[in-house]
Amino acid sequence: MTITEKILAQGCGKKKVAPGDFIECNVDIALANDVTAPLAISEFRKSGARQVFDKSKIVLVPDHFCPNKDIKSAEHAKILRDFAREQGLTHYYEVGIMGIEHALLPEEGIVLPGDIVIGADSHTCTYGALSAFATGVGSTDIAACMISGKAWFKVPPTIKFEFSGKLNKWVTGKDLILHLIGDIGVDGANYKAMEFTGETIENLSMSDRFTMCNMIIEAGGKCGAIACDKKTLEYIERRAERPYEIYKSDKNTKYEKVIKYNCSKIEPIVACPSLPSNIKKVRDLKNIKIDQVVIGSCTNGRLDDLRLAAAIFKGRKVNSGVRVIIIPATQKIYLEAVKEGLVEIFINSGCAVSTPTCGPCLGGHMGILAKGERAVATTNRNFVGRMGHPESEVYLSNPAVAAASAVAGKISLP
């Protein structure tokens, strides 16, 4: 079996599962945010349930419109806060101690290898980087899980992606996943598990692995999987709040298909409007002037991402026609960025630095685009109207390209 199949088999108490099987599994972590949890909580109450199945396995993180941007968002956040207090939830994080959920949960050691994780947010697939089965679900699925501790799945087939070769300068995990999405399309892995292997993946930082798994959903993927190795264990050991189990794909397992990439041929990439699959080499984009740059999100708001951006901004100024918003993904990342002097570099360059929030990524707040404006963002989606007006445009890139573009005033290589 594959990593994904092994995790699901243990979750449903079977020795073996195969693609296409319908199963019901015990869930290790169920996650929701200020957009999706209010409906889940409403359905939980409608059912007549009084108590969640396990107060340590429900995680609520108000991060999308927080700090609250208006009365409605404040009321949504209050629903989560009141429910967390009523139920005595172990894991509730809001302003001051919070972070963007998919950066926060690994950082706090809440998600671990071998876990089955469901989240009422499509980018829950991020945790495949920790060799967990993690997938997005609807709010009513979360409500049912809060009551029963279970969720049902159809076992997905697995596509294996093998990455070989040395990365070129300024090429990151963001470029690898954009290249993949450009190759197979936004529906190229519909309801498939996407397993990343090869020497290039083994040499990637955990930050880049999280970035790659975060964008699995942009190819239609059900979940991601990267085998647990020394780097994973180093990341996990100082954080893990409970025991965990490691699963690896069998050598003789059958994949639906195997796709191979030579990374030495991959250059810095930008996904142009209005699909993550609409990729272009940065060097092929000429004189595309921009109005805004956003560096952050659950895709690229980790400390390594901020360091990469700071290396470009140091000693330089943001172009006078560009607004730059830097959003560390968690409070711990923010604090470390302060200690390392990264925030000072950003401010001296003319950037605005925000407390952790999803904010502009989904057109929520902290950087909405007006009609006709263009942004380069390290986020994960560039659909029509994603960051504001339907006639605005979003270009997706890695942090180095985003920073270089901010300085140049147009999409540029570092």
Instruction: Dig out the tokens for 353 from the structure.
Output: 């630095």
Please report which confidence band the pLDDT of residue 241 belongs to, taking 50, 70 and 90 as the band edges: confident
What is the reported pLDDT for 100?
A: 98
Q: How is the chain split into domains, by residue range?
A: 3-242+252-260, 269-408
Pick the CATH number of 3-242+252-260 from 3.30.499.10, 3.30.750.24, 3.40.720.10, 1.10.3720.10: 3.30.499.10
Three-state SS for 167? coil
CA distance 86 to 145: 18
Q: What is the mean pLDDT of residues 138-145?
A: 98
- CA angle in degrees (0–180, nearest 5) for 175-180-183: 125
- pLDDT at position 374 is 98
For the chain, give percent helix, strand, coil, nearest 5: 35, 20, 45
Q: Is the pLDDT of residue 151 over 90?
A: yes
Q: With 90 as the cut, is the pLDDT of residue 9 above it?
A: yes
User: Across residues 386-393, what is the average pLDDT?
Assistant: 98
Q: What is the DSSP letter of 368?
A: P
Is 3-242+252-260's fold the same as 269-408's?
A: yes
User: How many beta carbons lie within 10 A of that of residue 88, not counting itself?
Assistant: 11
Q: What is the mean pLDDT of the segment spanning 285-289?
A: 96
Cα dist from 195 to 221, 228, 341, whole Å = 10, 12, 37
Tell me the percentage of the chain whose pLDDT exceeds 70: 100
- Which CATH number is associated with domain 269-408? 3.30.499.10
**pLDDT reading at 158 higher than 90:** yes
66-90 tens-digit pLDDT: 999 999 999 999 999 999 999 999 9
Query: Can you give the pLDDT at residue 319?
Result: 98
Strands 374-377 and 393-396: parallel
Q: What is the pLDDT of residue 22?
A: 98
Structural tokens at position 264 = 């030495």
Percent of the chain with pLDDT over 90: 100
Asked whether residue 62 carries a pLDDT value surpassing 90, the answer given is yes
pTM over 0.75: yes
Tell whether the model's pLDDT for residue 189 goes beyond 90.
Answer: yes
| pLDDT higher than 90, residue 379 | yes
Q: Quick check: helix, strand or coil at residue 31?
A: strand
Span 279-287, average pLDDT? 96
pLDDT at position 104: 98
Average pLDDT, the chain: 97
